[in-house]
Chain A
């Protein structure tokens, strides 16, 4: 639906699916997403009464019909608004996207799910797409439009992009994102802010949190997380930029956890919407970046200096 409206030159309208971790743990990510999309002329409509996507790791591991039913209810809310649904989280994108594709292509599951939905007066039709803010910005808005809106080029900020897993894999479910082993579409969006995405060892590695592993085996998952953190600290990256509040939580709270065991990590963790917000002139405070558990005053000063310079120019 969205690409059609874009071609007609009308503002693009999408429903905003919040999920759990963004609104309930990192509200700065929700706020930043709302601000930057508005500045880019994208109309986001509230998906009133949406629930957990539901969490792919646990629900899909428990009962497939429950997972599909819960996910389809969220998609149906968007169908009823006549809009595609925008996620700001890889987990939500993976869960809702896969559920949506399954129901579109598997009449048996569709019938089963509609029987459940019927009990609360809903019906899944299969006419709304599930989008992710990163692939939407890359395909439907484009880095050039973003560049035009940048008022504070983030010169000299060295960014470690963390794609996360469910933004790109399983690749057979994702359309037109290029290589899953060595993708570029997210890096391009980071570079559009004036910051520089720099490649690093283990760039495509998982954060460690997914699949229910974080909730059951936190310490083990942090070993995976730390592999990446150690590389980024050694190579003096200014920040990690992610596309998923759950990866965000793992990197942000993970550093605090590791520091309790005698480590000394202090790498700022930003959702792409927050990085973009900085380039659009919002202060770190206005984007809730200081509400992270891992804070880093040197990064904040660097950004504020860039914003001051832009104001004077």
Chain B
């Protein structure tokens, strides 16, 4: 069960920051109908994850509870909830924006940090490996695909862009 909300948890500046992004203020239109949560396949298998709860907490500006909650990362982004909301709340987009706010506070799960680093180091989130080099050759394909894997100057471009976005600092390992 969720603990009752205490007024000290309400952080107006968090709400203001969240709703700086277009469309996010629609969370205020939520009238608690539960339509979003009812269609959610993740809630079906993990009842602790409840999309409606995040939308309501966001409207109240409950920064700490939201950003430190590991379940914030359970959504598969299937968008069923967002399709169903009668008020046009951007459920998934809002949840993703709250994830970015967590990451900018240094809160990030280790496996996600690893994926980020695959991209920083290779340009691919899932880079080629030995067994797939072999499979490609067996199929008559080039050993590596004609992506950043084949063109070092293209990878260099990606690396520079990630640096320009300060993505390397954002996802830095401790």
Q: Kindly list chain B residues whose C-beta atoms are within 8 Å of the C-beta of A181.
A: 83
Taking a contact as CB atoms under 8 Å apart, the answer to whether A51 and B123 are in contact is yes
Q: Contacts A56-B77, A63-B167, A170-B82; is A73 near B112 (CB within 8 Å)?
A: no
User: Is A31 at the interface (CB under 8 A from chain B)?
Assistant: yes
Asked whether B111 lies within 8 Å of A291 as measured between CB atoms, the reply is: no
Instruction: Tell me whether B79 and A165 are in contact (CB under 8 A).
Output: yes
**Among A20-28, A126-134, A140-148, A192-200, the stretch in contact with B:** A20-28
Stretch of A6-14, A154-162, A206-214, A257-265 on the interface side:
A206-214
B74-93: contact bitstring with A at CB < 8 Å (1 yes, 0 no)?
11111110110000000010
Contact indicator A169/B78 (Cβ below 8 Å): yes
Kindly identify, within residues 148 to 200 of chain A, every residue whose CB is under 8 Å from any CB belonging to chain B. 165-166, 169-171, 180-181
Instruction: Say which one of A79-87, A220-228, A235-243, A295-303 lies at the interface with B.
Output: A220-228
- Contacting residues, chain B, for A224 (C-beta < 8 A): 41-42, 44-45, 76
- Chain B neighbourhood of A291, CB < 8 A: 135
The distance in angstroms between the C-alpha atoms of A291 and B79, with both chains bound, is 31
CB 8 Å contact bits of A1-45 with B (1 = contact, 0 = none): 000000000000000001011011101101100000000000000
Known: A215-B111, A215-B112. A57 touches B77 (CB 8 A): yes
- Contact call A49/B127, Cβ cutoff below 8 A: no
> Distance in Å from the Cβ of A200 to the closest Cβ of chain B?
15
| Pick from A64, A119, A223: contact of B161, CB under 8 Å | A119
Q: Known contacts A49-B147, A52-B125, A62-B103; is A73 also within 8 Å of B158 by CB? A: yes
Knowing A52-B124, A58-B116 touch, does A65 contact B165 (C-beta < 8 A)? yes
Evaluate contact between B141 and A66: CB separation under 8 angstroms.
Answer: no
Question: Most chain-B Cβ atoms within 10 A of its Cβ — which of A18, A56, A169?
Answer: A169
Contact yes or no, B154 A48, CB < 8 A: yes
Contact A31 B83 (CB under 8 A): no
Contacts across chains A and B counted by CB atoms under 8 Å? 206
Report how many residues on chain B are interfacial, defined by Cβ distance under 8 Å.
65
Question: Are A70's CB and B74's CB within 8 A?
Answer: no
Instruction: Report the Cα distance A63→B83, complex, angstroms.
Output: 24
With beta carbons under 8 angstroms apart, the residue of B46, B129, B157 that contacts A220 is B46
Is the beta-carbon distance between A169 and B83 smaller than 8 angstroms? yes
In the complex, chain B residues 61-117 whose Cβ is within 8 Å of any chain A Cβ: 73-80, 82-83, 92, 96-97, 99-100, 103-104, 108-109, 111-112, 114-116
Given A66-B162, A216-B112, A220-B74, are A55 and B147 also a contact pair (CB < 8 Å)? Answer: no
Query: Of B153, B158, B170, which is in contact with the most chain A CB atoms at under 10 Å from its CB?
Result: B158
What 7 additional pairs, Cβ within 8 angstroms, besides A49-B146, A208-B76? Answer: A49-B154, A52-B124, A55-B125, A65-B165, A66-B167, A165-B78, A224-B76
A-B contact pairs, 28 of them (CB 8 A): A18-B146, A20-B126, A24-B124, A28-B135, A48-B146, A48-B147, A49-B154, A49-B157, A51-B124, A58-B116, A58-B125, A63-B104, A63-B170, A69-B161, A69-B164, A106-B22, A116-B164, A119-B164, A165-B80, A169-B83, A170-B82, A210-B78, A215-B111, A215-B114, A216-B111, A220-B74, A221-B76, A224-B41
